[in-house]
Structure 1
Amino acid sequence: MYIRGWRLARRRFGVDDCIIIGAGPAGLTAAIYLARFHLSIRLFDSGSSRAAMIPCTHNHAGYPEGIAGKELLRLMRVQAAHYGALREEMRVTELTREGENFAVTTDVASYRARTVLLATGVVNHRPAALLPEVHDPALERGLLRYCPICDGYEVTDRRVAVIGTGDHGMREALFLRGYTSDVTLVAPEAEHALAPDCARALDDAGIVRIDGPCGGYAIEGDRLAFDTARGRMAFDSVYPALGSRIRSRLAVAAGARASDEGCLEVDDHQRTSIPGLFAAGDVVKGLDQISHAMGEAGVAATAIRNLLAERRPLRR
């Protein structure tokens, strides 16, 4: 009770030590660290963490039988709350500088903070014709997958399709070729757009190429089926390789530097080009892995604590 009261007393002045935007694995890890540093924080959760889509991850250390993404997030929320981290379900609409501090505007109210950590992640592009009533059950059953690094092992020796083309589609198909010999690359809309060297690499790996457009998605038995230029086909698992949208708009609008794709530029301490603004997880160019996002968040949280200590002593 003393610790929580002390935190609230520090917040009476209307400025938090840190506001975390995003409550996926990166944001929650940072919340745990920062709360245990005895800092006053807010964690804004829009409810759109990509980790919640994971039916069961088997490569996250510490869970030999795997763990569902929603359960992992729940446990992390419990741990953060145990140390007094304040999580609020709201969407942030604007981030601006106010001198040395930041103003964070949500769909409910505005808040001020000495530092901000952006952990907003990315949104995967989905096949346009894949309706939610098919997408979600297919995802839950492992018929539709988005991360071959995470779950390629689960499709070992299975029949797999990659929906994509160009260099990105080729690289995903070649990656999955390390798990199964039955890989088909299907163009999402029309004919494949492949450079000669991409086509040669696919041919050398024995990967079949089929033109689109793709449509008519449906779960048929234990497979996900859809229409192609060669007729209807069904696969044990389908991987869309259509890229993603980086959710860096808030930071970019505030003046932070980002790559052409939208990934925020950070240094070794997860500092963006704006002093006091940090970023961790998939919004930063990386592996799109839970463990990687959590590691970046730990680095960012420690750097935030040290920055605040430089501005004024952090003492009990």
Structure 2
Amino acid sequence: MSRVYDCVIVGGGPGGLTAATYLARYRRQCLVFDTGQARAAWIPKSHNCPGFPDGVGGPELLARMREQARSFGVEAIDAEVTALRGNDDGFEIRHSDASVRARNVILATGCEDVTPPLERLEDAVACGAVRLCPICDAYEAIDRSIAVYGPPAKNAAHARFLRTYSRRVALVPSEPCDDADLREELAGDDIEVTAEATALHFDGKHCIFELGERARSFDVLYPMLGLISRSSLAVGAGARCDDEGALIVDPHQMTSVDGLYAIGDVVSALNQISVATGHAAIAATDVHNRLSRNYA
């Protein structure tokens, strides 16, 4: 407990690792808590990540970013942070049966997709039968049969977005859809609203819904059942969040708690790798500027 880090970063996804690299290059002492559970690890191959014209898989991207951070001396430990509280030095960060202290904290804890009850979900994601981010990869679903699965009122916008890429888009309700006006509006966009789904299967290539007495197969399924923001650490420390649980930050990515920053998917913003890394650059630079001078 004698050492006080300039900054502790909670989360080893693209945002957290970018923040660590920036801080290390600012010659600041930082520590990353990285459990290896970043949401980016689900990505089979991203084709909209800058600098990878042939695409890059999430695990490969994370490995490269970890190697880059390590090359500048960033410390990382595989441990889950269980509590965060302010103290005279800044913050105490609890993990397992130990704790560390830091003058500042950057939370890059992300969010968690609510996934459908589908056996072999990871296999379905790996082969592209299930996709989790239309903005990231709808281009790869051009002209394919696409199902958007979730509460109909909340997912009409997702279905309309996907019509940019295919004429064969169906909204598959996860709950009863009694809104005749919504059905009519979507029909005007040539989007079908199916019967409510009663079961879902994966045959190794396609996702198959049981829609009443009828089975229906789709090339691509986008399950849009919601996101769970991993903001409990910050909220427990007094940070404000919105109605969806996403943390509220200022233009420098600082939460309502002085010295506590939040970046990436845990903040209400576009959930993209490029956005998370941009947040990281802003937050890390602000951390550096608020610390005492570290002249050579």
Q: TM-score, normalised by structure 1?
A: 0.90
Equivalent residue for 1:285, pick from 268, 289, 292: 268
CA contact (8 A) 2:152 2:172 kept: no
1:143 maps to 2:129: yes
The structure-2 alpha-carbon separation of the partners of 1:148 and 1:290, relative to structure 1 and needing over 3 Å to count, comes to same
Structure 1 consecutive aligned stretches of length 4 or more whose deviation exceeds 4 Å: none
Q: Which residue identity is paired with 1:45?
A: D
Equivalent residue for 2:68, pick from 69, 72, 79: 79
Counterpart position of 1:218:
202
Structure 2 SS opposite 1:94:
strand
Q: Which residue identity is paired with 2:170?
A: T
Counterpart position of 1:116:
105
Counterpart position of 2:115:
126
The structure-2 alpha-carbon separation of the partners of 1:194 and 1:29, relative to structure 1 and needing over 3 Å to count, comes to farther
Post-superposition Cα deviations, 1:277-302, rounded to whole Å, max 9, x if no partner, equal 00100000111100011001000000
Counterpart position of 1:187:
173
Cα offset, 1:307, TM superposition: 1.0
Cα distance in 1 for residues equivalent to 2:71 and 2:169? 46
Cα offset, 1:201, TM superposition: 2.8
Counterpart position of 1:8:
none
Counterpart position of 2:293:
313
Mapping of residues 155-174 of structure 1, within 5 Å: 155-174=141-160
Post-superposition Cα deviations, 1:164-187, rounded to whole Å, max 9, x if no partner, equal 123321111111011000001111
Cα distance in 1 for residues equivalent to 2:295 and 2:40? 36
Q: Which residue identity is paired with 2:250?
A: D
Counterpart position of 2:283:
300
Q: Which residue identity is paired with 2:199?
A: G
Q: Which residue identity is paired with 1:130?
A: L
Counterpart position of 2:226:
243
Equivalent residue for 1:228, pick from 206, 211, 214: 211
Q: TM-score, normalised by structure 2?
A: 0.96
Cα offset, 1:230, TM superposition: 4.8
Q: Which residue identity is paired with 1:207?
A: I
Structure 2 SS opposite 1:144:
coil
Counterpart position of 1:92:
81
CA contact (8 A) 2:84 2:233 kept: yes
Cα distance in 2 for residues equivalent to 1:167 and 1:213? 15
Counterpart position of 1:263:
246
RMSD of the alignment, in Å?
A: 1.4
Cα offset, 1:14, TM superposition: 1.2
Identify unmatched segments of 5+ residues in structure 1: 1-11
Cα offset, 1:121, TM superposition: 0.3
CA contact (8 A) 2:248 2:267 kept: yes
Q: Which residue identity is paired with 1:140?
A: A
Counterpart position of 1:204:
188
The structure-2 alpha-carbon separation of the partners of 1:116 and 1:194, relative to structure 1 and needing over 3 Å to count, comes to farther
Cα offset, 1:120, TM superposition: 0.3
Structure 1 SS opposite 2:128:
coil
**Aligned residue-pair number:** 296
Post-superposition Cα deviations, 1:62-94, rounded to whole Å, max 9, x if no partner, equal 111100000000000000000000011000000
Cα offset, 1:195, TM superposition: 7.3
Cα offset, 1:229, TM superposition: 2.2
Cα distance in 2 for residues equivalent to 1:194 and 1:78? 51
The structure-2 alpha-carbon separation of the partners of 1:272 and 1:194, relative to structure 1 and needing over 3 Å to count, comes to farther
CA contact (8 A) 2:89 2:101 kept: no
Counterpart position of 1:26:
15
Identify unmatched segments of 5+ residues in structure 2: none
Cα offset, 1:138, TM superposition: 0.5
Cα distance in 1 for residues equivalent to 2:217 and 2:247? 38
Structure 2 SS opposite 1:259:
coil
Q: Percent identity?
A: 42
CA contact (8 A) 1:210 1:229 kept: no
CA contact (8 A) 1:20 1:31 kept: yes
Cα offset, 1:235, TM superposition: 0.7
